[in-house]
């Protein structure tokens, strides 16, 4: 479970009705636009805005649909040794800003009850693979985007290495993560404790090497919500616990905390 604030939990478990808001950040930078997608200018010059945070993203008013699919198995059976890419499908009013090739797409979500609003939490980092522009009933350009997360980039050959092979598996994972420009989820290191020695991956892709390492630990690789590499063991789920619930199935809380039975 992605770590959220106490405020998030308070809103989620509170008695007041709550709902979610979401936004999508595209690219590393953009221009300030109107709701119709036209540039807002200052002295005739489009105003550049930072796209570094969720607050600068495109809101629900511009997004027609957004869906994200994530999976931990390569097939419809429990299996290990794979690298799974998350996929994003986005349809939105075409922004005025330029969208470069393979631009970043970063969705965020937060919880609110109308009075309180939580922090944004990320929902992954994706790269545009295909795009298509059409017009909606209002005559506005609508861009439809299909994007994958960084796992797809592991299909490249293993990068130039500074290691003296063989090296321990964790060093291989770190080198691949560095080549991809991503981090490694801390939960991965908690799993990779056997310190297997890996021979020089000559002729192998990064995806193949990651897959072999995942197989050694009976797991699969995915990208987490922060866009970092995460090795998920097939039996990652924690021991079952039960909470006291009401007739509607909602947890009964005491001082904001669910009651474990």
Tell me which residues touch other proteins (CB under 8 A).
1-4, 8, 12, 19-22, 63, 65-81, 107, 109, 111, 121, 123, 185-187, 194, 196, 198-199, 212, 215-218, 222, 224-225, 230, 232-238, 240-243, 245, 248-251, 258
CB of 7 to other proteins, least distance (A): 13
Q: Which is nearer to other proteins, 65 or 162 (CB)?
A: 65
CB of 40 to other proteins, least distance (A): 26
CB of 120 to other proteins, least distance (A): 11
Closest CA to 92 of 115, 129, 60: 60
Contact 152, 85 (CB under 8 A): yes
* Residue 75 burial class via C-beta count within 10 angstroms: exposed 0-12, middle 13-18, buried 19 and up: exposed
CB of 164 to other proteins, least distance (A): 18
CB of 79 to other proteins, least distance (A): 6
Q: Is the dihedral of CA 157, 163, 165, 170 positive or negative?
A: negative
Q: Which is nearer to other proteins, 46 or 168 (CB)?
A: 168
CA geometry: angle 26, 88, 48, nearest 5 deg: 5
Q: Which is nearer to other proteins, 12 or 127 (CB)?
A: 12
Q: C-alpha distances in angstroms, 48 versus 41, 42, 61, 95, 103? A: 9, 10, 20, 13, 17
Q: Which is nearer to other proteins, 21 or 39 (CB)?
A: 21
Closest CA to 124 of 144, 145, 93, 147: 147
DSSP H helices in 112-205: 169-180, 186-191
- Which letter does DSSP use for residue 33 in this model? B
Q: Which is nearer to other proteins, 74 or 205 (CB)?
A: 74
Dihedral class, residue 102 (left if φ above 0, else alpha if ψ from -120 to 50, else beta): left
- Cα pseudo-dihedral 20, 24, 30, 35, rounded to 10: -60
Q: Which is nearer to other proteins, 7 or 46 (CB)?
A: 7
Q: Which is nearer to other proteins, 131 or 187 (CB)?
A: 187
CB of 86 to other proteins, least distance (A): 9
CB of 142 to other proteins, least distance (A): 16
Give the span between the Cα atoms of 216 and 231, in whole angstroms.
11
**Coil, helix or strand at residue 22:** strand
């Amino acid at each position: 479970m992605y770590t959220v604030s106490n405020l998030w939990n308070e809103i989620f478990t509170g008695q007041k009705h709550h709902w979610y808001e979401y936004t999508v950040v595209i690219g590393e930078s953009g221009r300030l636009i109107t709701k119709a997608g036209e540039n807002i200018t200052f002295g005739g010059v489009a105003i550049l805005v930072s796209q570094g945070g969720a607050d600068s993203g495109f809101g629900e008013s511009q997004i027609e649909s957004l869906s994200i699919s994530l999976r931990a198995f390569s097939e419809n059976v429990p299996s290990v040794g794979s690298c799974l890419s998350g996929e994003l499908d986005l349809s939105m009013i075409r922004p005025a800003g330029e969208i470069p090739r393979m631009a970043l797409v970063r969705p965020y979500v937060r919880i609110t009850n109308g009075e309180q609003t939580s922090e944004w939490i990320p929902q992954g980092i994706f790269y545009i693979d295909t795009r298509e522009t059409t017009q909606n009933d209002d005559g506005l350009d609508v861009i439809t985007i299909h994007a994958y997360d960084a796992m797809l980039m592991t299909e490249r050959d293993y990068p130039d290495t500074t290691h003296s092979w063989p090296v321990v598996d964790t060093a291989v994972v770190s080198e691949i993560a560095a080549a991809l420009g991503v981090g490694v989820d801390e939960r991965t290191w908690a799993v990779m404790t056997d310190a297997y020695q890996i021979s020089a991956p000559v002729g192998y892709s990064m995806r193949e090497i990651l897959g072999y390492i995942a197989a050694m630990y009976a797991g699969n690789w995915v990208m987490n919500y922060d866009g970092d590499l995460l090795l998920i063991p097939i039996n990652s789920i924690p021991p079952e616990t039960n909470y006291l619930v009401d007739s509607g199935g909602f947890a009964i809380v005491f001082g904001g905390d669910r009651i474990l039975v």
